[in-house]
Chains A and B, each alone.
Chain A
Amino acid sequence: MATDAQTLHQQHNHLKTQHTDRLTAKDLTIYLPGERPLELVKSLSFNVGQERVALVGESGSGKSLTARALMGLLPHPCKLRASELTLGDNDLTTLKEREWSRLRGNRVSMVMQDPKHALNPTQKIGKQVEEPLRLHTRLGRKERQEKVADMLNAVGLPNPAFLQQQYPHQLSGGMGQRVMLAIALINDPQWLIADEPTSALDFDMREQVLGLIERLVEQRNMGLILISHDLQQVAHHCERVLVMYKGELLDELPADQLAQATHPYTHTLWSCRPSKFTHGERLPVLDRALLASLKKETRHD
């Protein structure tokens, strides 16, 4: 009976989130204003529809800033400009704070790195999962409760009734991240941005959570932007990969062609991870001089 209701619910979701909207950025530049503006992300262009895209790069390559820009939550002094930045039919460059609030958690959601820090320590899990529903929908109390329970089930958390009464510190890291996912997905957003959702978890847990994200995104016909520095890991779970380096988009290719990547940076990122095949060999190291020269060439073009 419960499973019937669940599948029905999922079918309903399926209908609701069927969409052709795209998340489009053209020449997205994020900079620190000042006498000599410092560009942190340089004319980035990408386009995400109902697909799973990985945004990969080293620390400081501007991945998280890009994600924050898509949520309209750039850290204080940063500013952005873009020739086009749209989410469906919303122009993100001109949105007011009130309109942003209507978008966030409703059409686009974000999952952050560390559930230990991203869940409010003073509120019970149930309340935190429910809050986006109270904000963005007009559902009654009972319907909300049902949805919360369904959602906690969907992210693979057992015994939702008990869990709703728990506080964040009583959960393990993996459970916390699942709760974060439940919060992000409870309003059936069209896009999910996951900013290194697994970096606070151990290896087994990472695969599980990434698999879960992939499955849920698939089920709900959502678009996913998965941010990570681990190319090999995200490659399994995504269809397309964008590679960033020092604020620029270096390479863009389908995930299944990563092994044959032609761009030297992508190639190095792909092959720099130790495995049993590289046992006893030196791992490739990034040739930054080569990268710099490549960059100059593209500038001349």
Chain B
Amino acid sequence: MTQQMIPEQPAQADAGANVWKPARRITALSVGLVLVAILVLTALLAPLLAPFDPNIQHIELRLLPPSGAHWLGTDGFGRDLLSRVIYGARPTLLLVSLILILTIPVGLLIGISAGYIGGWFERILMRLTDIVMSLPSLVMALALVAIMGPGLMNGALALAFTSWPPFARQARAETLALRRSDYLAAARMQGIGGLRLMFGHILPLCLPSAVVRAALSLGGIILASAGLGFLGMGIQPPTAEWGSMVAEGSKVIFDQWWVAAAPGGAILFASLAFNLLGDGLRDKMDPRHGN
């Protein structure tokens, strides 16, 4: 019985493979990539895609339900919600890229130098990292924005301040493992040392996992930036921003649900896109999670 079963199974698998061959395998990575690409394109082409100006108010058209003219309805000032959601992708992506530009270099610099130099230097840097890591991200960001004043740049700075520690810890752990590797020993035998070794040889080896880490944390960063906007600490109105749009919509959520649902859906979409991308990248680049 079993002997008959065994040859059958591969045949079935082959047949399945043939059916699916024309289409590429659908993975978290490919779905994530497509979604992120849609998001980026939307942000870039917002003026072409948006049917209306996102900031022009028509009080007579306020709080209209979704219809043929206004696909997602209008908000409390009669502005077209679809246009505002499309334009809202811009500050979100801008904020996310600002945060990445700020956090990855700082995290890698601290992590690699701590791991490479070691001793007291490492202890001080890593305890500092632990301290920042233990602070609740959004609360800390709120406090910073309260001090510095709301705005895109300050929001990015505040969120960046609390999101570099994971990068530093990961880079340090990898540097520690790399320090004992043969190729770094070989590099030192050629007289390569100090900064050249840290940034010419260790950094490229830490970079892939930092990228994966970044992609994984992007979903959380998007939620945090929307949270800042919701609390009125992000980009100020009237600029279209998903978080503050949800906040406006929540006032009328029981009668005109679409005002909050449209930007909420956009946040969900963006967060999901980056999470899928991060998961896919991790599966692809980290052998420990591979199949």
Residues in chain A within 8 A of chain B (CB atoms): 71, 73, 97, 100-106, 109-110, 112-114, 117-123, 131-132, 135-136, 180, 183-184
B183 touches A73 (CB 8 A): no
With beta carbons under 8 angstroms apart, the residue of B182, B185, B189, B200 that contacts A105 is B189
B191 touches A119 (CB 8 A): no
CB distance from B202 to the nearest CB of A (A): 10
Closest 6 CB pairs of A and B: A105-B190, A117-B182, A105-B191, A104-B191, A118-B186, A110-B189
CB distance from B193 to the nearest CB of A (A): 5
CB distance from B115 to the nearest CB of A (A): 14
Q: Quick one: CB contact mask for B107-130 with A, threshold 8 Å, 1 for yes? A: 000000000000000000000000
Known: A122-B204, A123-B204. A104 touches B190 (CB 8 A): yes
Residues of B167-204 whose CB lies within 8 A of A: 181-183, 185-194, 196, 200-201, 204
The CA-CA distance from A73 to B179 in the complex, in Å, is: 13
A131 touches B190 (CB 8 A): yes
20 more contacts with CB within 8 A, not counting A101-B194, A105-B190, are A73-B188, A101-B193, A102-B191, A103-B191, A105-B191, A109-B190, A113-B182, A114-B182, A117-B182, A118-B185, A118-B186, A120-B187, A120-B201, A121-B183, A121-B205, A132-B190, A132-B191, A183-B186, A183-B190, A184-B190
The residue in chain A whose Cβ has the minimal distance to the Cβ of B207 is: A122
Residue among B185, B188, B191, B196 with the highest chain A CB neighbour number at 10 A = B191
With beta carbons under 8 angstroms apart, the residue of A103, A122, A132 that contacts B205 is A122
The CA-CA distance from A184 to B196 in the complex, in Å, is: 18
Residues of B within 8 A of A101 (CB): 191-194
Q: Quick one: CB contact mask for B51-70 with A, threshold 8 Å, 1 for yes? A: 00000000000000000000
The CA-CA distance from A110 to B189 in the complex, in Å, is: 6
Residues of A within 8 A of B194 (CB): 101
A135 touches B182 (CB 8 A): no
The CA-CA distance from A144 to B190 in the complex, in Å, is: 16
CB distance from B188 to the nearest CB of A (A): 6
Residues of B within 8 A of A71 (CB): 189
B186 touches A112 (CB 8 A): yes
Residues of A within 8 A of B192 (CB): 101, 105, 131-132, 135
The residue in chain B whose Cβ has the minimal distance to the Cβ of A120 is: B183
Residues of B within 8 A of A103 (CB): 191
The residue in chain B whose Cβ has the minimal distance to the Cβ of A183 is: B190
Residues of A within 8 A of B182 (CB): 112-114, 117-118
The residue in chain B whose Cβ has the minimal distance to the Cβ of A102 is: B191
Residues of A within 8 A of B196 (CB): 135
The CA-CA distance from A103 to B192 in the complex, in Å, is: 11
Residues of A within 8 A of B193 (CB): 97, 101
Residues of B within 8 A of A104 (CB): 188-191
The total number of A-B Cβ pairs within 8 Å is 67
Known: A112-B186, A123-B204. A117 touches B181 (CB 8 A): yes
CB distance from B287 to the nearest CB of A (A): 13
Residues of B within 8 A of A184 (CB): 189-190
26 pairs, CB–CB < 8 Å, chain A vs chain B: A71-B189, A73-B188, A100-B191, A101-B191, A101-B194, A104-B189, A105-B189, A105-B190, A105-B191, A105-B192, A110-B186, A113-B182, A114-B182, A117-B181, A118-B186, A119-B186, A120-B201, A121-B183, A121-B205, A123-B204, A131-B190, A132-B190, A132-B192, A135-B191, A180-B186, A183-B186
Residues of B within 8 A of A120 (CB): 183, 187, 201, 205
Residues of A within 8 A of B205 (CB): 120-122
CB distance from B186 to the nearest CB of A (A): 4
The CA-CA distance from A104 to B187 in the complex, in Å, is: 10
Residues of B within 8 A of A110 (CB): 186, 189
B191 touches A136 (CB 8 A): yes
Residue among B181, B186, B188, B201 with the highest chain A CB neighbour number at 10 A = B186
CB distance from B104 to the nearest CB of A (A): 17
A135 touches B190 (CB 8 A): yes
The residue in chain B whose Cβ has the minimal distance to the Cβ of A107 is: B191
CB distance from A282 to the nearest CB of B (A): 38
CB distance from B118 to the nearest CB of A (A): 10
The CA-CA distance from A193 to B224 in the complex, in Å, is: 56
B185 touches A112 (CB 8 A): yes
A73 touches B187 (CB 8 A): no
Residues of A within 8 A of B183 (CB): 117-121
Residues of B within 8 A of A135 (CB): 190-192, 196
The CA-CA distance from A113 to B183 in the complex, in Å, is: 11
A73 touches B185 (CB 8 A): yes
Known: A117-B181, A120-B201, A135-B196. A106 touches B191 (CB 8 A): yes
Residues of B within 8 A of A113 (CB): 182
With beta carbons under 8 angstroms apart, the residue of A102, A109, A136 that contacts B189 is A109
Residues of B within 8 A of A112 (CB): 182, 185-186, 189
CB distance from A133 to the nearest CB of B (A): 10
The residue in chain A whose Cβ has the minimal distance to the Cβ of B188 is: A73
A73 touches B191 (CB 8 A): no
CB distance from B76 to the nearest CB of A (A): 54
The residue in chain B whose Cβ has the minimal distance to the Cβ of A117 is: B182
The CA-CA distance from A121 to B207 in the complex, in Å, is: 13
